[in-house]
Each structure stands twice: as C-alpha cells, then as structure tokens.
Amino acid sequence: MKRLMPPRTLFITLTLLCLLAIWLSLALGPVSLPLLDTLRAGLRLMGAPIAADGLEQAELILGQIRLPRTLLGLGVGAVLALSGVAMQGLFRNPLADPGLVGVASGAALGAAVAIVGGSWMGGIAEWFAPYLLSACAFVGGLGVTALVYKLGRRDGQTHVATMLLAGIALTALAGSAVGLFTYLADDATLRTLTFWNLGSLNGASYQRLWPLLLVVLAVALWLPRRAQALNALLLGESEARHLGVEVESLKRELVFCTALGVGAAVAAAGLIGFIGLVVPHLVRLLAGPDHRVLLPASLLAGGALLLFADLVARLALAPAELPIGIVTAFIGAPFFLFLLIRGR
Amino acid sequence: MMRRPAALLTLCASLVFVTQALAADLPQRWVSAGGALSEWISLLGGAQRLVGVDTTSQHPETLKDLPSIGYQRQLSAEGILSLRPDLLVGTEEMGPPPVLAQVRGAGVRVELFSSTAQLAAVDDNLKHLGALLGREQKAAALAADYRQQLEALQAKLKQAQTTQKAPGVLLLVGHGGAKPMIAGKGTAGDWVLQQAGARNLADNQGYKNFSAEALAALDPDVLVVSDRSLDGEQALQALLKENPALAASRAVKDQRLVRLDPTLLVGGLGPRLPAALHELARAFYPDAQATLAP
C-alpha cells in the first residue's frame, strides 16, 4: 500500500494551495491590473491609509467584483466538499454524493419553479424578486431532502438503504417535474434555466454572500465535532452504537448539514457538480479515511479547487465567461482518473 | 454696424465649439449585447465605436472580429470592464441583473432598448441610438424608411389578398433538420409570418416540438424553414431527410418550402427584416410576385 501523507504536511500544503488560489483569484481577471495596484488597492480595502490617486478602478474591481466572487467560491467549494464527506460517511460509500439525498434535484426543481413560474406568480414584492430564485432553490433542496429523510424513517430508526432508494426515486420525480417546466418554458427562461444548471460565480455580491457564509461557518464548525462519531460509523451502524455513538442523531445531523450546506451553495451559485464527490475522495487517497483529517482537509481542498476552476471559467474565453460547472468536471475528472490509475 | 459681423462670427465659432464639445461628450467606446442593436449601430455609422459584441451579434460579418462578451443573458462584469467601454447597450433580455449593477457601479453607462416585435419599438430604439451616436437625422430617416417599407408591404399584401387567400403556413426552427420546433403564438416567428401575409397554423404558445401526425393534420400550404446550422437548399433537404413524414404534406408536394435566416428571429427587429419579409411575401403570393418586389 502506498504511504499516506502525514496530516501536518497535508494541512500545510492545502493551506498554501488555498492561499495561492485566493491570491490568484484576487489578482487575475479579464481586466489586467498591475500587481502593485492590486496590492495597494487591497491594502486600502483593509483600511490602510494609502492615497487613492489612480486606484479607483483597481479598488472597484477588487472590492466589488473579485473579492465577493472569491469569497463565494471559497464558501461554495468548502461547503460542497464538506457535504460530500458527510454523505460518504453516512452511506459508508466513497461513491456517495450530496445529490443522493435529493438536495440537488430539489434545488433544481425550486429553481425551475422560480425561473419558469416566476412570471405566473403575480404580486411578488419588488425587493424580494431578485432573491426569488435563490429562495426557491434553497427551499426546494431542503424540502426534498426532508421528504427523503422522512421516507427513510421507520420505527424510530433511519434506514440508510431505504433513504438511498427514496433519494433515487425522488430525484427522478423532481427531474421529471423539471422536465415539465422546461417544456413549458419559453426561449428566454429556457436559456436561464440551462445556464443555472451549469452554475456560475458570476455577479457575486455581498448581499447574497452573507447567508451562504453563515451556513458555511455553521457547517464547518459543526461537522468536525462529529469526526470521531463518523470514524466509528465507518465500522458499521451497530458497531458505532456499541462504541457509544448516538447513531440516529448523527444521521439526522449529517442529512441536515448536507441539506443546509448544499442548499445554500446551490442557491448562491447554481448547480456545481463534481466537487462534492471528488474532493473527499481525493483527500482520502492522499491522507486516509480518518475524518479528523478528512473534514478540515476537504474544506480547504474544496475551496481551493473551486477557485482554480473559476479562474479558468473567467479567463479561458475572456471577455466572455464559461459556466463553472463545465470547468469543475473538465479539469477535475481527468485529474481524478490520473490519481486512480496512479494509486493502483 | 461693424460690430455685428464680428458678433455673428463669434456666435458661429462658439456654435462650432459647442457641437464639437457635444461630440466629444458622446460615448466613444461601445459594447453591444443585442444582435439587432449591433446591426442598427453599424448602419448608423457607429461600427468603429464598437469594442465588443455579444454572441447574438452576427451581422454584419465584420462584427465577428470583435471580442465576444458571451451570451447576452450571461454577461461577465469584469469581462465587459476589461474592454474599457463608456457605454453598454442591450435589450431587456440582457443580464444577469447583478452583473449589470456591477457594470453600472464601475461608471459604465448602461442603456436598455426594447426587443419587442413592434414598429414603435424600432422607432424608439433608433431615436435613442441616434441620440447616443450624435446621428439623430440619419436615425430618423432610417426609422421613417423602415416604417414606410413595412406599411407599403401591408398595402401590397392587402391588394394581393383580393385575388388569393392568405396561405396557411408553419415556421419550423431546427438544427441540421433534426427535431424542428414550430413557432407558435407570441414568438418573433409568428410576427414575421403575419407581417408577410400568412396565417400561422400553429396555435401553441412559444416554440414547441411537434409530431408528424399533428403536422399532417394542420396541412400547411407553405413551410418556412429556419435552420441554425445549415444553409439554403441543404437545410430543406436535411429537414425532409430527417422527417420523412413531411413528404406527404401539401407544402412539400407543391414544393413550397421557403427558408428564413434564423438570426432574424432573435433580439428584436433588425434592419434586414423588411427585405426578408418581402421575400417571404413573394413566396406566399406567387401570383403577385411582381407587385411584391421591394
């Protein structure tokens, strides 16, 4: 067996990688800013007393466009990766993905309702209209996941296998409902729906950022506390129970964290696939299955990977932009394959 | 008395200065996110001010050499700003809204135009563009000419309809002939058919897939084919090859298939439309070919 990377090395590497990603995400973009201007504008944004002469442009691009975008990317990547760990731990299967409990398909259904049906629901308050899509996606994701969880409960116990099947069934059901909305959509809404399904960090703003960052913080603080319990769960449910883990409440927390995290990520940036499946897997290949390492490492790796993907998304076709969902799969999948082949 | 010519001279000179100053105040670097708008801008002589266009701006050909800002609904704020524009023009289809807010926040003027298929929208848009380009007169002339062409066509069609019934027509929009969709009510295609004197047989809303059987039941006199990937005769052949059921329809038997440039159907009414409408009208009313020449 291949030797694993010691946790210390892994954390240092990932932290450096994350910092590099943040730096590149702030420094690079279609507008080429001189490095010095970026630095000075950055310092000014942090409150350093530097003269503003000639920095307006740099400050605007950095403060209003790149910084919210970078924070959004970090948050979305981190929470998707953490949810991936939670789901793979819950199903005790490295192929599990946050989509399994229906949160992604539920969010897609919510988005379809908002995009296509938005014009039919009259009387939406003006201040709420811009947030309708995010709110519907969030509620849809949470709603379908709650239903999946409910269907998996029997005699006060959560049957993971039943939940899995219920998730598959409800995903199919939500998929067909999305299909129906697609059919009813006109050209304009169809395009919006298609692009939403590919995800994007484009147009990030602080107002939309805070709810997501709060959720990310909550999930990132909560899940690592359950790392030991997740480790015990790896041995099997009854074994974990004998080790003193309250398995039922653990399952509930895992499902809830995933629904909340993925729901918020999807509401903020649309559907971004691949991160939740591959990042935990990747970290496990490097550092083994211990959740005390896996959880924080996935958080860092998820954020960094999404930022790198976003760099490609915004630079590859500049001044136009690629949907990020295309990029995450396009660079992530071959890399993943490479690791798999090398690890054999 | 000697003072007066001098005063007049000063007045003239200052007028020249004022107009020059105004011209310098007009936005110099334009980004256009709308196919029809880009065409109108080019016609008004503003093509050299364009520094970027979206993917729907396909005409005239020279626009394809400009940097592309992507699809009009999926713009990127920093991408647009990297072109250092003074002005971003687009239709109400342009977005997403947070990106427009960022572009505005960066001090770029954002001007919205209408993409509705109505003559009044063309008038308004041209007036607005003319003012932004400092070419009000040219814009007014173009608008009047546009209106005149369409109204003349309507008059001629009325004439033609005294001897020939309005044909029942279906507009098929497709990709290489496969799975074409029918243009129903409320689409730009529907407006085009009506303006060219046809009855649109489709009564669905928007663009919808159709079954061969439904098509046979509607039995159109003429089929208009708008193909996004193939041109001319090829598009018609591909359509028949992919949809053999069409061969039984009256339009195909009578060989009354007409093609329509699909770029005419997106982003509002553009300058190439009157000529296309005349061409369609000639195909719809073969007996009135001569009078329907543009």
Q: Does B148 map to a domain? A: no
For B182, B202, B205, B216, the CA distances from B185, given in Å and listed in that order, are 10, 7, 5, 19
Residue type for A186, please? Answer: D
Strands (DSSP E) contained in B10-167 are 30-33, 50-53, 87-91, 109-113
User: So what's the pLDDT on residue B12?
Assistant: 54
User: So what's the pLDDT on residue B246?
Assistant: 78
Domain membership of residue A224 as a residue range: 68-343
What is the distance in angstroms between the Cα of A190 and the nearest Cα belonging to chain B?
Answer: 11
A30 at the B interface (CB within 8 A)?
yes
pLDDT at residue B141 greater than cutoff 80: yes
Q: Do B52 and A203 touch (CB under 8 A)?
A: no
Residue type for B55, please? Answer: T
**CA gyration radius, chain B:** 23
Quick check: B73 and A195 in contact, CB under 8 A? yes
Of B74, B83, B105, the CB nearest to A319: B83
Quick check: A54 and A182 in contact, CB under 8 A? no
Quick check: B207 and A187 in contact, CB under 8 A? yes
Residue A301's CATH number: 1.10.3470.10
pLDDT at residue A42 greater than cutoff 50: yes
* β-bridge pairing B199-200 and B178-183: unpaired
- ipTM entry: 0.81
Residues B248-272: pLDDT tens digits?
788 888 888 888 888 888 778 899 9
For A101, A300, B155, B222, the CA distances from B39, given in Å and listed in that order, are 49, 48, 27, 29
> Mean pLDDT across the stretch A107-129?
81
A57 at the B interface (CB within 8 A)?
yes
Q: Please indicate, yes or no, whether residues B83 and B173 belong to a single structural domain of this protein.
A: no
Q: Do A30 and B70 touch (CB under 8 A)?
A: no
A320 at the B interface (CB within 8 A)?
yes
Of B55, B82, B207, the CB nearest to A30: B82
Residues A44-83: pLDDT tens digits?
888 878 777 778 888 889 999 999 999 999 999 999 999 9
pLDDT at residue B231 greater than cutoff 90: no
Residues B20-69: pLDDT tens digits?
445 567 899 999 998 899 999 999 999 999 999 999 888 888 999 999 99
Q: Does A126 map to a domain? A: yes
Residue type for A136, please? Answer: C
Q: Do A203 and B79 touch (CB under 8 A)?
A: no
CA distance A23 to A77: 16
Number of domains in chain B: 2
Kindly identify which residue of chain B lies nearest to residue A191, measuring between CA atoms.
B73
Residues B188-207: pLDDT tens digits?
889 999 999 999 998 888 88
Quick check: A276 and A90 in contact, CB under 8 A? no
Phi, psi of A64 (to 5 degrees): -100, -20
A179 at the B interface (CB within 8 A)?
no
Domain membership of residue B63 as a residue range: 3-113
Q: Please indicate, yes or no, whether residues B169 and B239 belong to a single structural domain of this protein.
A: yes
Q: Does B29 map to a domain? A: yes
Q: Does B186 map to a domain? A: yes
Q: Please indicate, yes or no, whether residues B187 and B79 belong to a single structural domain of this protein.
A: no
Average per-residue pLDDT in chain A? 89
User: So what's the pLDDT on residue A215?
Assistant: 95
Q: Does A35 map to a domain? A: no
A187 at the B interface (CB within 8 A)?
yes
Quick check: B112 and B94 in contact, CB under 8 A? yes
Q: Which residues of A touch B77 (CB under 8 A)?
A: 65, 202-203
Residue B90's CATH number: 3.40.50.1980
Quick check: B79 and A318 in contact, CB under 8 A? yes
Q: Do B79 and A30 touch (CB under 8 A)?
A: yes
Quick check: B259 and B223 in contact, CB under 8 A? no
Q: Does B243 map to a domain? A: yes
Q: For chain B, what percentages of helix, strand and coil (3-state, to nearest 5) are there? A: 50, 15, 35
CA distance A223 to A257: 8
Average per-residue pLDDT in chain B? 85
User: So what's the pLDDT on residue A177?
Assistant: 94
Number of domains in chain A: 1
How does residue A123 score in pLDDT terms, banded at 50, 70 and 90?
low
Residues B61-97: pLDDT tens digits?
899 999 999 988 889 999 999 999 999 999 988 988 8
| Number of CB atoms found within 10 A of residue A340's CB | 12
Q: Do A203 and B77 touch (CB under 8 A)?
A: yes
What is the distance in angstroms between the Cα of B157 and the nearest Cα belonging to chain A?
Answer: 30
Query: Which residues, in sequence order, are bridge partners of residue B222?
Result: B169
Pick among A25, A31, A322 to test the B interface (most B CBs inside 10 A): A31
